[in-house]
Amino acid sequence: MKPARDYIIFPLDVPSIDEAKQYVELLADDVGMFKVGLELFIQAGPEIVKFIHAAGSTGIFLDLKLHDIPQTVSRATGRVADLGVAFITVHCGESRRMLEAAVDGSQGKVGVLGVTVLTSVSAADIQAAGFRSDFHSDLSRLVLQRAEMAKSAGCAGIICSGLEARAIKANFGPDFVAVTPGIRPLWSVTEGDDQQRITTPAQAIADGSDYLVIGRPIRDAEDPKEAVKQIIQEIESVI
């Protein structure tokens, strides 16, 4: 069984490389992985990836949420393959070919994760976007359909909410990685929160999540290190 800290992915959702470096130095011994998303990668590029590598053994999740024609996506994951990161994200979207291209481009050097349905998306959003009624009456159906596409394309796993983790594990087995954002410890208060499908760390782990993306509850805490400590205790209570 992996230690509790290895379940935690902290997103470096900050606008500057200097702020990102401060969080890396502060939390490198406390979390399992740092997530570099669009905001930081646009600002800092591969330099921040090199900095995290140099700071210790913490893994890196490059969350670029690619979505383009297969050739473009394949060429992009080909470049990511040489960065030494653990995971890259690609939207499941409409075509399995794009996911297959992402996996081909990755050359087995980085795990491709399919983004199923963003945790900020609600059933009302899916209805407004024109999806079939069985998808908006039960969002997990759409998540599972997209996960099936990702699995058959050779992806290492998917991003889903903690609410769907149990069904993902039941349908696709223990080795198909489930990464869950939208994590809110009971003590966290995130004003104007855009997350819709949320779970606590304990619930997500109990339901089979392999990794929890936890951002604002740590980043905006008065003491981020103490917030991580509390989350680790909560995870330890269920593993």
Q: Please give the positions annotated as active site.
A: 65
Candidates 103, 153, 213, 231; binder of ligand C5P (CB under 6 A) is: 213
Candidate ranges 23-31, 40-48, 92-100, 113-121; the one touching ligand C5P (CB under 6 A): 113-121
Q: Classify strands 59-66 and 211-213 as parallel, antiparallel or unpaired.
A: unpaired
By C-beta, is 93 or 104 nearer to ligand C5P? 93
- Chain residue whose CB lies nearest ligand C5P: 215
Candidates 126, 214, 227, 228; binder of ligand C5P (CB under 6 A) is: 214
Does residue 208 come out as left (phi exceeding 0), alpha (psi in the -120 to 50 range) or beta? left
Q: Which of residues 22-51 bind ligand C5P (CB under 6 A)?
A: 35, 37
Tokens found for residue 89: 């994200």
d(CA 159, CA 165): 9
By C-beta, is 71 or 226 nearer to ligand C5P? 226
Candidates 111, 181, 201, 224; binder of ligand C5P (CB under 6 A) is: 181
Candidates 105, 157, 215, 224; binder of ligand C5P (CB under 6 A) is: 215
Q: Does 195 bind ligand C5P (CB under 6 A)?
A: yes
By C-beta, is 107 or 189 nearer to ligand C5P? 189
**Sign of the alpha-carbon dihedral angle for 122, 89, 26, 239:** positive
Q: Are 182 and 209 in contact (CB under 8 A)?
A: no
Q: How many residues lie near ligand C5P (CB under 6 A)?
A: 17
Torsions phi, psi for 130 (to 5 deg): 90, 15
One-letter amino acid of 73: V
Strands (E), 26-86: 33-37, 59-66
Torsions phi, psi for 11 (to 5 deg): -80, 130
Q: Which residues bind ligand C5P (CB under 6 A)?
A: 11, 13, 35, 37, 63, 118-120, 159, 181-183, 195, 213-216
